[in-house]
Structure 1
Amino acid sequence: MTPTWPAQAQMAESGLFGDVLACDGVLPACFLPGGQARTAQAESMLLGLAQVEDLRSDEPGEEKRGELPILAQRLDAKLDLVLLLLGRLVRQGNPALPATPLRWSVRGLRLQLPAGTDLPAVDSAGAVRLQPVDWLPDDLELPVIVSATAQDADASWAWLRFPALPQGLEDAMGRHLFRMHRRQVADARRR
């Protein structure tokens, strides 16, 4: 059931997600009021994720770039294990981001805020921190401006738009969102 949001929130929803690819999900994420984002690192991470996901594609209908030899498959499996262990070590030293329901497009995000969180002021700047994939224990930090907020008895939300981002980052984010959407569609077909 979709909540009934005030007019400003409905306008923000339309502005961020109307006529553009948007993905709904639950990802480790948080809003940092007044936070500074590292856009160059975000672009590098998204480009690296794209390369890895191209090589690791599990799509049954996709043409693969030749089957990997058994040695390469073993190395890939070992690398997966090393990344899991590294992720555990990193998470022990840093507080984990909370799993957060969100909607994400190249224009911005709608985050469901934790209960009891003070709503950020509209038009205030900040950053959103999120973990784009579960197998990599690193976060993206993206600059945002609060477009709207809303709350009811059950939840609070913030609509966060991206200011002008470097073209490379916007393109890399678009490719990442397309992959997320493709996985969501494939998962829905399997059910």
Structure 2
Amino acid sequence: MNTGWPQAAQAAEAGLFAETLSCDAVLPADFSVGLTRPGRLPQAEALLLGLAQVEDLRGEDSGEEKRGEQLPMLVQRMDAKLDLMLVLLGRLTRQSMDALPMRTLRWSARGLRLHLEPGTTVPAQEAQGLLRLQPSEWLPDDLELPASVAATAEDANGLVLWLRFPAFPPGLEEAMNRHLFRMHRRQIADARRR
């Protein structure tokens, strides 16, 4: 935790991330103040569940060695080609629509810490808005989640927002925790490889 942050920011950091699973990442994300629609909660849950199913089928968490033992070489090649096609399709789709900017963030099922560029207008505390977040690089679809501003701070890199989620339906909260768990496992595996 940055001890240079104001007290409200430190309290928001503790409230959103203490004693819960969270992940640091750089993902396409944006927050719009004043958008009061409730977000697409059923679609968000479906997207996260779909990502989990794809990752289960691909055996991403089981490691490359085990994956190679389970799948014949032809199926592995087809899987690799499908991965490449999905990445290409994602890039083409992002070119034809308003792409979300890449942002440094910390994400838990309770909320998000989002780093914005310098000169961004500082929203009022407790301001309601809509968070758009693309949970996977290869899939050009994003989550739309309602959030409120828990705290703000400025640092050398720009504006930092702490966004608190409302109580989500249990299915969405479970799907989000599962997605964060997978992200966390990948981060640990990447750190071990270095």
SS at match of 2:51: helix
- Partners of 1:42 and 1:169 lie apart in 2 by 7
- Partners of 2:178 and 2:62 lie apart in 1 by 16
Structure-1 residue corresponding to 2:131: 128
Compute the displacement of 1:122 (Å).
Answer: 0.9
Structure-2 residue corresponding to 1:92: 95
Q: Is the alpha carbon distance of 1:79 and 1:62 closer, same or farther for their aligned partners in structure 2, counting shifts above 3 Å?
A: closer
SS at match of 2:32: strand
Compute the displacement of 1:63 (Å).
Answer: 5.9
Q: Is the alpha carbon distance of 1:90 and 1:3 closer, same or farther for their aligned partners in structure 2, counting shifts above 3 Å?
A: farther
Which residue among 48, 51, 64 is the counterpart of 1:49? 51
Identity rate, percent? 63
* Normalised TM-score (structure 1): 0.91
Which residue among 60, 81, 84 is the counterpart of 1:81? 84
The amino acid that maps onto 1:84 is V
The aligned runs of 1:165-184 (5 Å cut-off) are 165-184=168-187
Q: Is the alpha carbon distance of 1:17 and 1:132 closer, same or farther for their aligned partners in structure 2, counting shifts above 3 Å?
A: same
How many pairs align?
191
- Partners of 1:14 and 1:186 lie apart in 2 by 26
The aligned runs of 1:1-191 (5 Å cut-off) are 2=2, 4-35=4-35, 36=37, 37-56=39-58, 57-60=60-63, 67-191=70-194
- Partners of 2:136 and 2:73 lie apart in 1 by 26
- Partners of 1:145 and 1:32 lie apart in 2 by 10
Q: Which moved more, 1:120-129 or 1:81-90?
A: 81-90
The amino acid that maps onto 1:11 is A
Q: Which runs of 5 or more residues in structure 1 are unaligned?
A: none
The amino acid that maps onto 2:42 is A
Q: Which moved more, 1:123-132 or 1:28-37?
A: 28-37
Say whether the 8 Å CA contact 2:45–2:171 is kept in structure 1: yes
- Partners of 1:176 and 1:62 lie apart in 2 by 23
- Partners of 1:89 and 1:151 lie apart in 2 by 35
Compute the displacement of 1:131 (Å).
Answer: 1.1
SS at match of 1:186: helix
The amino acid that maps onto 1:178 is F
Compute the displacement of 1:21 (Å).
Answer: 0.8
The amino acid that maps onto 1:42 is A
- Partners of 2:177 and 2:61 lie apart in 1 by 20
Q: Which runs of 5 or more residues in structure 2 are unaligned?
A: none
Compute the displacement of 1:80 (Å).
Answer: 1.7
Compute the displacement of 1:137 (Å).
Answer: 1.3
- Partners of 2:133 and 2:144 lie apart in 1 by 7
